Amino acid sequence: MAAPPPVGTRMLPAGTYDGLGVLVTGGGTGLGKAIAVEFARLGAAVAVASRSAQHREAGVAAISDAGGQGVGVEVDVREPESIAAGFDAAESELGVNIAVLVNNAAANFPVPATDLSPNGWRAVERIVLDGTFFCSQELHRRVTARGGEGAIVNIATTAALTGGPGMAHSAAAKAGVVALTKTLAVEWAVDGIRVNAIAPGLFPHDDLPAAIQAARDPSVDDARQPVGRVGQPHELGWAATWLASSYASFVTGHVLVVDGGNWLRRDFAMPPVTPIREQLPRSR
Ligand code: NAP
């Protein structure tokens, strides 16, 4: 499959997000950073919300390099007070209301379910599921208080749709995010807020945690995808900017799979099953 248009190509008209604030959780690394940059390229004032100052600086620098306006705000998505303070800081420093929220922050590490500790389980559920819900509530409070409109884009994963051996914590939390997407889409449609999700497939990038990098084999990643290549982070940025824009104003409660067809892959003659412990040799 052909490579997509290069980074820097706008998919929507210039100025699509002029005057609008967008808050991206985990917007300082990997896919969140790529998403934040695409919103900024279209005129949005973008808040990069996360815990690490170093990550936030990297996100803001990438936005500046693309000619956009960005600010870093310290947020721990597990804590509602921290989220409210982060939204306050974002709106005051950017000088606009936050109208779009991208729930991208996550944590993940491959592990057989039998080896998953209560702390490991809770850590992922709290960041992914609690964090998505608390941030969404905060956006809803603000949008309804001022009588405007808003959009939420939740970053899920294809494992939310299929389950994922070695990913019990993440797949379960993200499946919750998918259910939340559909639930809030209906509850909040009357309040002028659309809620959609993106389920990415494999999008390698330099910020991937070491445990995820270690479980990959870059030499065969492309060949494992039906379209013959992995995703490029800016492709997710395009998907997110479209879903949150008025061009998608009749779209809500949708889960957009962006994975080159990989989640539907099922060989005619399936290969022998490899137990998860043999797939993750480091955890034996
Ligand atoms: P990543 O680089 O590891 O990014 C995770 C981000 O979440 C970091 O920027 C981190 O920032 C932030 N974060 C973690 N805990 C947080 C907390 N408590 N409060 C606020 N921010 C927090 O991951 P990625 O690969 O870009 O993934 C981005 C999204 O895509 C995730 O939702 C992931 O599940 C999904 N996804 C990725 C892939 C892929 O192939 N990369 C595939 C499927 C789905 P701080 O450390 O600064 O807090």
Residue among 214, 235, 226 at smallest CA distance from 260: 226
Position 284 scores a pLDDT of 46
Answer for the pair 41, 33: CB distance below 8 angstroms, yes or no: no
CA of 267 to the centre of ligand 1 (A): 31
Residue 203 alpha carbon, nearest atom of ligand 1: 40
Tokens of 85: 């303070």
pLDDT at residue 5 in the model: 94
Q: Is 154 within a domain?
A: yes
| DSSP, res 151 | E
Where residue 157 sits, what CATH number does that domain have?
3.40.50.720
User: Which atom of ligand 1 lies closest to the CA of 25?
Assistant: 21
Q: Which atom of ligand 1 is nearest to the CA of 54?
A: 47
- Rounded distance between C-alpha atoms, residue 149 and residue 104, angstroms: 20
Q: Residue 258 contacts by C-beta under 8 Å, 6 or more apart in sequence? A: 198, 199, 200, 201, 231, 235, 236, 239
> What is the structure's pLDDT at 32?
98
What was the pLDDT predicted at 213?
77
- Contact criterion met (CB below 8 Å) for 50 and 75: yes
pLDDT at 210: 79
Distance CA 118, CA 201 (A): 27
Q: Which amino acid is at 124?
A: V
In a domain, 5, yes or no: no
Q: Which residues line ligand 1 (CB under 6 A)?
A: 25-26, 28-32, 50-52, 55, 75-78, 104-108, 127, 155, 157, 200, 202-203, 207-209
Q: Is residue 11 part of a domain?
A: no
Q: How far is 149 from 12, CA to CA, in rounded Å?
A: 19
Count the domains in the chain: 1
CA distance 134 to 76: 10
C-beta neighbour count of 182 within 10 angstroms: 16
| Parent domain of 127 | 21-279
- In whole angstroms, give the CA distance from residue 71 to residue 89: 9
Q: Give 69 Cα–ligand 1 centroid separation in angstroms.
A: 22
Per-residue confidence in pLDDT tens, the chain, 284 aa: 889 999 999 989 999 999 999 999 999 999 999 999 999 999 999 999 999 999 999 999 999 999 999 999 999 999 999 999 999 999 999 999 999 999 999 999 999 999 999 999 999 999 999 999 999 999 999 999 999 999 999 999 999 999 999 999 999 999 999 999 999 999 999 999 999 999 999 999 999 877 777 777 888 999 999 999 999 999 999 999 999 999 999 999 999 999 999 999 988 999 899 999 998 866 54
Query: Does residue 203 lie within any of the structural domains?
Result: yes
At 217 the pLDDT is 82
Residue 57, domain member (yes or no): yes
**Per-residue pLDDT at 14:** 96
- The C-alpha angle with vertex 231 and arms to 77 and 69, in degrees rounded to 5, equals 50
What is residue 282's predicted lDDT score, i.e. its pLDDT?
60
Q: Is residue 8 part of a domain?
A: no
Pick from 185, 211, 197, 72: nearest CA to 128: 197
CA of 140 to the centre of ligand 1 (A): 22
Say if 15 falls within a structural domain. Answer: no
Q: Is residue 284 part of a domain?
A: no
Alpha-carbon span 16 to 19, nearest angstrom = 9
